[in-house]
């Protein structure tokens, strides 16, 4: 199920079958003169799966990828076809978009579009953490999408990826100094030591939105789910304190870490989104394959971030006890009542949902 069902040019919307990935959809959209508002770090993931877990990119004014959903078609446990649309079913819609697979099988997804745009990305190296503390909001807003990569050592952010829209007649230049960081002189990988071959083009070279918003190129197979990843969302107003809290744990974190990425995401109204009603900072960790050690570090991070009402990414590893997790989602009980209407006998309940939402 990987076909385009309908492109509604006038309404700026596209309906696709749910097996389609962003990598399949984006070149087609671009050819048709349209774009999505944002993308995750890689385009290989399915649109339905990404939206089910509130997958996100970056940009203080960009909601997560689920915020582009304007309608869904779901086959429920009873085999009924349930159409849900933003304009028609307000509350149901806000409950259904980030659904964690709990409601039924999504068969179609409709997404909001915008006119296609051109972007460039510039990378800066060695941004002092002191500058992040002083100027967090300015740094996070320096582009349409900004990512900070750090290994938490030496009081610095290793790389800053600034993705900017290129508007006609307004040429952009790379400044020689970015809050004390220096421009990279060649394409780099988020982990400096790795080859940049599978990374999207940098060095300010303009290109289509879908070849600049993700960090990784479509043509390369990603590491097929072998990563250990965690990500924690805190309110953006607590960003600096939360970063400092993790930095204090650096000697526990770094030995098991490939890299951390810091991104901002706008607030939304989707019940089970980690950004529900709060503009957020997301602190991501790509871990080495050392689960035994990582599983001991996660509770430490979660304890440090608890004062900020931390919410974990649904699609990544966390150890927050289920009672605590459910408290952090004010709509959790309502979501479970909503799910029960369509899946009375828990046909779609799996190990993860049983442990985290019903445990």
Interface positions with ligand FAD (CB under 6 A): 18, 40-42, 45-46, 48-50, 52-53, 55-56, 100-101, 105-106, 222, 225, 227, 313, 315
Distance from C-alpha of 66 to C-alpha of 47, rounded to nearest angstrom: 9
Nearest approach, Cβ of residue 129 and ligand FAD (Å):
22
Per the CB < 8 A criterion, the answer to whether 73 and 49 are in contact is no
Q: Which is nearer to ligand FAD, 53 or 158 (CB)?
A: 53
| Smallest distance, ligand FAD to C-beta of residue 2, A | 11
280 and 308 Cβ atoms separated by less than 8 Å: no
Q: How far is the CB of 49 from ligand FAD (least distance, A)?
A: 2
When the beta carbons of 46 and 70 are compared against ligand FAD, the nearer one is 46
Q: Which is nearer to ligand FAD, 102 or 139 (CB)?
A: 102
Q: Indicate left, alpha or beta for 249 from its phi (over 0: left) and psi (-120 to 50: alpha).
A: alpha
Do 184 and 202 contact (CB within 8 A), yes or no? yes
How many other β-carbons are positioned within 10 Å of the β-carbon of residue 110? 23
Residues 6+ apart with CB under 8 A from 276: 267, 268, 269, 270, 329, 330, 331
**145 DSSP β-pair partners:** 163
- CA torsion through residues 243, 249, 254, 258, sign: negative
Shortest reach from residue 106's CB to ligand FAD, in Å: 4
Instruction: Give buried/exposed letters for 21-43 (b at 16+ CB in 10 A, else e).
Output: bbbbbbeebbeeebbbbbbbbbb
- Residue with Cβ nearer ligand FAD (105 or 196): 105
C-alpha 348/C-alpha 77 separation (Å) is 7
Shortest approach of ligand FAD to residue 182 CB, angstroms?
Answer: 26
Residue 141 C-beta: closest distance to ligand FAD, Å: 19
Whole-angstrom distance, CA of residue 54 vs CA of residue 196: 27
Nearest to residue 84, comparing CAs of 93, 97, 95? Answer: 93
Our CB check for ligand FAD shows the closer of 41 and 280 to be 41
Which residue number, 101 or 206, has a Cβ lying nearer to ligand FAD?
101
State in angstroms the smallest separation of the CB of 55 from ligand FAD: 4
State which residue, 126 or 227, has the beta carbon closest to ligand FAD: 227
Measured between alpha carbons, how far is 287 from 280 in angstroms, rounded to an integer?
A: 22
């Amino acid at each position: 199920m990987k076909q385009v069902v309908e492109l509604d040019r006038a309404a700026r919307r596209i309906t696709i079958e749910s097996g389609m990935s962003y990598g399949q959809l984006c070149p087609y959209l671009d050819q048709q003169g349209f774009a999505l508002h944002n993308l995750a770090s890689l385009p290989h993931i399915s649109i339905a799966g990404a939206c089910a877990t509130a997958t996100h990119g970056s940009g203080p004014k960009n909601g997560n990828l689920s915020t582009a959903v304007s309608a869904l078609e779901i086959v429920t446990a009873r085999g009924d076809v349930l159409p849900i649309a933003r304009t028609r079913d307000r509350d149901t819609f806000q409950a259904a978009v980030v659904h964690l697979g709990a409601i039924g099988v999504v068969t179609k997804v409709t997404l909001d579009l915008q006119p296609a745009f051109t972007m460039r990305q510039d990378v800066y190296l060695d941004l002092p953490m002191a500058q992040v503390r002083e100027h967090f909001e300015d740094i996070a807003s320096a582009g349409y999408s900004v990512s900070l990569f750090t290994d938490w050592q030496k009081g610095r952010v290793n790389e800053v990826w600034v993705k900017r829209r290129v508007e006609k007649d307004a040429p952009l230049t790379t400044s020689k100094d970015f809050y004390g960081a220096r421009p990279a002189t060649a394409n780099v990988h988020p982990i400096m030591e790795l080859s940049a071959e599978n990374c999207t083009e940098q060095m300010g070279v303009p290109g289509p939105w879908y070849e600049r918003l993700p960090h990784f190129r479509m043509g390369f197979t990603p590491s097929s789910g072998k990563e250990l990843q965690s990500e924690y969302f805190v309110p953006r107003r607590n960003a600096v304190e939360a970063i400092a809290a993790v930095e204090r744990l650096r000697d526990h974190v770094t030995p098991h870490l490939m890299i951390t990425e810091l991104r901002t995401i706008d607030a939304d109204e989707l019940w089970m989104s980690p950004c529900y009603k709060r503009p957020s900072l997301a602190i991501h960790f790509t871990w080495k394959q050392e689960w035994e050690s990582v599983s001991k570090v996660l509770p430490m991070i979660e304890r440090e971030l608890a004062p900020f009402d931390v919410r974990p990414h649904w699609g990544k590893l966390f150890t927050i006890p289920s009672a605590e997790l459910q408290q952090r989602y004010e709509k959790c009980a309502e979501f479970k009542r909503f799910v029960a209407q369509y899946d009375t006998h828990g046909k779609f309940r799996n190990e993860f949902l049983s442990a985290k939402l019903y445990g």
